[in-house]
């Protein structure tokens, strides 16, 4: 039995050996005959290393060729991951390198374990090293196997903080964007446009990466170069921004905001009596503002200022995350938001600056009996005609007033037509339009439809990220806001006459951005064409030749794509007689005269613009005051829009200053200064490059002030318009 058992075991072992031999033979045959090409590729991969070459990012320059975003060449020390794959060899390498690189063991290990860097590419150990250190490490490849020097680029903003909200900055790829950029061929540690033109035109500016392929030995030492493909630089971009006007606009805006912060604000109630809740002196908060200068013949943005401003050099200054958090704190208070371009992202009530478009709606639809000849006797109050008297006696507000004339009583303007109503900003006149254009058309959204013709409630399609489209009052809007909890549910049940009255004077649910207002006023200036605003004029071929004094030579470069031709979004179809009446009223806002009833009422801008050079550059404009919380004047926001009447200088300018007071007191002086500069009647300093960034500072941007602020001086209207 024992012999039989031994024979059985031998047979089993022999069978197993035969099977294993057969499997081994099949595997050898497969490797030699079938998978030989794949093995050869893997062998080559082990013997070679391919390193990406970063392209130089395209430069950005202003209208006159001044470079506002350039590049500085820098060297980065990298390490072949294969050399440090084992824990022991990695620890030995970190010990060697820590002294040479001036980095701790932990810092080097943190880089190795970080998922920020591409696991298939050499590990970046230290950026922006000196040529001396690079040569030192290269000459000692025996001591530092796997080390290489990579050429990278750092973004420079020579004129920062000027136009920083327009230009933008570069930043690390966010975790939520990783897959998107990976599919586009970006490395995880790449820096991409995160704001402004840098973000919108990322694909244009980036360029095409190249590569270099090396043969390496078993220790990761580079033996020879096998192949090289040079990177292709990104395209250059020319802005529509004129840095000289941009600098002047920013200074005028910031100067006026500083003035408003030192201006005592009246703390009065609606009846004009002092508010006992504020017994002490209160100053305007004036936390923020923006201004836009537009060429209304082309849609090109000549200047765009937003405050608070920031220096975009902070984003590549190499500061700690703690300091960055102190400079740019996370906040839910919109007054403190820094990284917001208020010119395109600020959604604001417009106050009386909406009235030219309400006037157009009434004239264009034939709402006013007699049209341009229609007049109304303004006695300071307006009583709704469509609400039964018994309801007015209950809980329905039926009487609406003009703004106070400084004596606690509403202004009384007497007999006014459309032109005069615009000039003195008669609320009563526009209340009547607001009621009748709604009730006499079967409660149809006529005012909404007419105002939308000028682009309100729609994106302007400006070539910058994060544009808000604003809101135009409607039943659908009220329902949505009620569903979101922004207004009471009962408020969302219907759209009423009172809603349309608030709409007619720019209050209530109406909101728009300063760029939308600029586009709309530009349409008044050019005869009714709503043009797409742009901040980029042209895309140029890579490597536009340098000129003198930090400029490129615009005569020597090649334009790849030109955006100079206007892009029409809508033609309002404005009849000349209607435009003439509206422009006439807005011209009187600037030049006067006002109107005499019980006494002389100056127009809302007449006193302020007395010192403006009207013959050099005639303009027409409108003030607006958006009432703040509690209707306290110190919460009012100030808005002013104006356009040139000279076809040779087709400019439109808008300013919006948050919580800064009446329209003629805060925003209007900024626009007045800008047009004075455009008229050539005040010195406009040429833009000069900024001083080096002080990384020890905790100011996000140095203040910008006018050398001579006299153009801001004047007496604004005392009427909250």
Mean pLDDT score, 18-29? 66
Using 50, 70 and 90 to split pLDDT, how confident is the model at 250?
very high
**What element of type H or E holds 659?**
none
Give 11's contacts (C-beta < 8 A, 6+ positions apart).
Answer: none
In angstroms, what is the C-alpha Rg of the chain?
34
Confidence band of 631 (pLDDT split at 50, 70, 90): low
Average pLDDT over residues 444-449: 96
Q: Evaluate if residue 544 carries a pLDDT over 90.
A: yes
SS (H, E, C) 674-690: HHHHHCCCCCCCCCCCC
The predicted structure's pLDDT at residue 257: 97
pLDDT at position 2 is 52
- Summarised one tens digit per residue, pLDDT across range 458-505 is 999 999 999 999 999 999 999 999 999 988 888 888 999 999 999 999
| Highest-pLDDT range among 9-18, 207-216, 274-283 | 207-216
Going by the DSSP 8-state scheme, the letter that residue 339 receives in this structure is S
68-86 mean pLDDT: 87
Mean pLDDT of 377-403: 90
Nearest to 81 by CA among 67, 68, 93: 93
pLDDT recorded at residue 43: 46
Of 470, 451, 450, the closest CA to residue 460 belongs to 470
Tell me the two tokens of residue 58.
Answer: 């395209």
Whether the pTM exceeds 0.85: the reply is yes
Cβ distance 204 to 539 under 8 Å?
yes
* Position 586 pLDDT exceeds 60: yes
Confidence of residue 719 (pLDDT cuts 50, 70, 90): confident
CATH 3.90.1310.10-classified regions of the chain: 49-139+147-239
The H or E element spanning position 60 is strand 60-61
Neighbours of 94 (CB within 10 A): 22
The Cα 505–Cα 355 span in angstroms is 6
Q: What is the pLDDT of residues 683-711, one digit of tens each?
A: 999 999 999 999 989 899 988 999 999 99
Measured CA distances, 467 to 346, 391, 427, 500, 634 (Å): 9, 42, 31, 26, 28
Query: Dihedrals φ, ψ of 291, to 5°?
Result: -150, 145
Mean pLDDT of 371-384: 95
Quote the CA–CA distance of 202 and 192 in Å, as a whole number. 7
Sign of torsion over alpha carbons 499, 502, 504, 507:
negative
Question: According to the model, what pLDDT value does residue 212 have?
Answer: 87
Average pLDDT on 544-566 reads 94
Whether the per-residue pLDDT at 22 is higher than 70: the answer is: no
Could you tell me where in the chain the CATH 3.30.450.330 domains are found? Answer: 243-314+573-712
Confidence tier at 277 by pLDDT (50, 70, 90) = low
Query: How far is the C-alpha of 253 from the C-alpha of 653, rounded, in Å?
Result: 12
- pLDDT category at 175 given cuts 50, 70, 90 is confident
DSSP string, 619-652: EEEEEEEE--GGG-GGG-EEEEEEEES-TTS-EE
At 714, list the tokens. Answer: 């004047």
Name the average pLDDT for the chain: 89
Which residues face 290 on adjacent strands? 306, 656
Element (H, E) at 99: helix 87-101
pLDDT digits (tens, 9 = 90+) for 398-417: 999 998 887 778 999 999 99
**Average of pLDDT values for 570-598?**
95
First to last CA, the chain: 117
**Cis peptide, bond prior to residue 593, ω within 30 of zero:** yes
* Closest by Cα among 497, 567, 662 to 298: 567
Q: What is the tens place of the pLDDT at every residue in 335-345? A: 889 999 999 99
Whether the Cβ atoms of residue 671 and residue 642 lie closer than 8 Å to each other: yes
User: What counts of helices (H) and strands (E) characterise the chain?
Assistant: 22, 27
Q: Taking residues 316-330, report their average pLDDT.
A: 87
Contact 326, 481 (CB under 8 A): no
Contact 14, 170 (CB under 8 A): no
Fold of 243-314+573-712: Beta-Lactamase (3.30.450)
Question: How confident is the model over 197-209, as a mean pLDDT?
Answer: 96
Q: Name the residue among 459, 64, 534 with its Cα closest to residue 298.
A: 534
Q: What is the pLDDT of residue 125?
A: 87
Quote the percentage of the chain above a pLDDT of 70: 90
Lowest mean pLDDT across 102-106, 305-309, 365-369: 102-106
pLDDT computed for residue 39 by the predictor: 44
Q: What is the pLDDT of residue 61?
A: 97
H or E element at residue 538: strand 536-540
Would you place residue 44 in the very low, low, confident or very high pLDDT band (cuts 50, 70, 90)? Answer: very low
Task: Mention the CATH class of domain 49-139+147-239.
Answer: alpha beta
- Longest Cα separation, the chain: 136
CA distances from 265 to 260, 660, 662 (A): 9, 9, 10
Residues in Cβ contact with 24 at an 8 Å cutoff, skipping those fewer than 6 apart: none
């Amino acid at each position: 039995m024992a012999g039989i058992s031994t024979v059985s075991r031998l047979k089993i072992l022999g069978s197993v050996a035969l099977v294993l031999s057969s499997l081994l033979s099949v595997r050898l045959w497969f490797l030699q005959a079938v998978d030989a090409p794949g093995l050869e590729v893997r062998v080559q991969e082990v013997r070679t290393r391919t390193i990406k070459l970063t392209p130089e990012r395209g430069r950005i320059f202003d209208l006159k060729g001044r470079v506002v975003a350039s590049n500085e060449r820098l060297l980065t020390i990298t390490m072949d991951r294969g050399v440090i794959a084992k824990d022991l060899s990695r620890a030995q390498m970190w010990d060697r390198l820590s002294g040479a690189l001036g980095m701790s063991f932990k810092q080097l290990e943190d880089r190795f374990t970080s998922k920020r860097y591409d696991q298939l590419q050499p590990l970046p150990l230290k950026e922006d090293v000196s040529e001396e250190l690079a040569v030192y490490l290269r000459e000692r490849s025996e001591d530092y196997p796997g080390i290489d020097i990579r050429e990278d680029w750092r973004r420079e903003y020579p004129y920062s903080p000027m136009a920083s909200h327009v230009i933008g900055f570069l930043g690390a790829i966010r975790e939520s964007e990783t897959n998107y950029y990976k599919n586009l061929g970006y490395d995880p540690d790449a820096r991409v446009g995160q704001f402004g033109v840098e973000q919108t035109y990322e694909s244009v500016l980036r360029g095409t990466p190249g590569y270099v392929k090396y043969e390496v030995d078993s220790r990761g030492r580079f033996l020879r170069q096998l192949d090289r493909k040079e990177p292709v630089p990104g395209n250059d971009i020319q802005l529509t921004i004129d840095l000289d006007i941009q600098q002047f606009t920013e200074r005028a805006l910031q100067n006026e905001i500083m003035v408003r912060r030192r201006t005592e604000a009246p703390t009065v109630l609606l009846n004009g009596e002092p508010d006992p809740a504020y017994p002490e002196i209160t100053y305007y908060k004036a936390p923020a503002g923006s201004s836009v200068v537009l060429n209304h013949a082309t849609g090109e943005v000549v200047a765009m200022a937003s405050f608070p401003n920031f220096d975009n050099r902070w984003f590549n200054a190499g500061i700690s995350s703690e300091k960055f958090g102190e400079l740019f704190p996370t906040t839910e208070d919109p007054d403190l938001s820094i990284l917001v371009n208020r010119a395109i992202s600020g959604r604001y009530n417009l106050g009386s600056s909406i009235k030219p478009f309400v006037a157009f709606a009434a004239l264009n639809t034939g709402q006013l009996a007699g049209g341009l000849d229609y007049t109304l006797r303004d006695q300071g109050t307006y009583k709704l005609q469509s609400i039964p008297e018994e309801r007015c006696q209950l809980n329905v507000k039926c009487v609406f007033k003009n703004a106070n004339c400084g004596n606690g009583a509403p202004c009384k303007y007497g007999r006014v037509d459309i032109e005069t109503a615009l000039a003195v900003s008669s609320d009563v006149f526009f209340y009547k339009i607001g009621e009748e254009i709604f009730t006499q058309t079967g409660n149809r959204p006529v005012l909404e439809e007419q105002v939308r013709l000028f682009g309100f409630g729609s994106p302007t399609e400006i070539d910058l990220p994060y544009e808000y489209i604003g809101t135009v009052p409607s039943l659908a809007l009220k329902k949505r806001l009620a569903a979101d909890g922004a207004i009471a549910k009962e408020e969302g049940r219907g759209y009423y006459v009172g809603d349309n009255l608030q709409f007619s004077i720019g209050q209530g649910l109406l909101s728009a951005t300063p760029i939308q207002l600029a586009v709309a006023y530009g349409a008044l200036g050019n005869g009714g064409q709503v043009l797409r605003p742009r901040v980029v004029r042209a895309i140029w071929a890579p490597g536009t030749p340098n000129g003198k004094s930090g400029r490129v030579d615009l005569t020597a470069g090649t334009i790849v794509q030109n955006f100079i031709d206007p892009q029409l979004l809508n033609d309002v179809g404005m009849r000349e007689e209607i435009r003439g009446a509206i422009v006439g009223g807005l011209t009187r806002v600037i030049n006067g005269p006002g109107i005499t009833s019980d006494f002389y009422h100056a127009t809302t801008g007449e006193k302020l613009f007395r010192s403006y050079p009207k013959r050099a550059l005639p303009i027409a404009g409108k003030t607006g005051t958006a009432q703040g919380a509690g209707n306290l004047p110190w919460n009012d926001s100030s808005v002013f829009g104006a356009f040139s009447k000279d076809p040779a200088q087709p400019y439109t300018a808008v300013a919006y200053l948050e919580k800064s007071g009446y329209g003629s007191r805060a925003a209007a002086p900024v626009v007045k200064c800008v047009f004075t500069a455009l008229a050539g009647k005040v010195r406009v300093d040429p833009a000069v490059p900024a001083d080096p960034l002080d990384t020890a500072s905790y100011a996000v941007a140095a203040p910008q002030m006018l050398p001579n602020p006299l153009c801001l001086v004047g007496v604004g209207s005392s009427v909250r318009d």
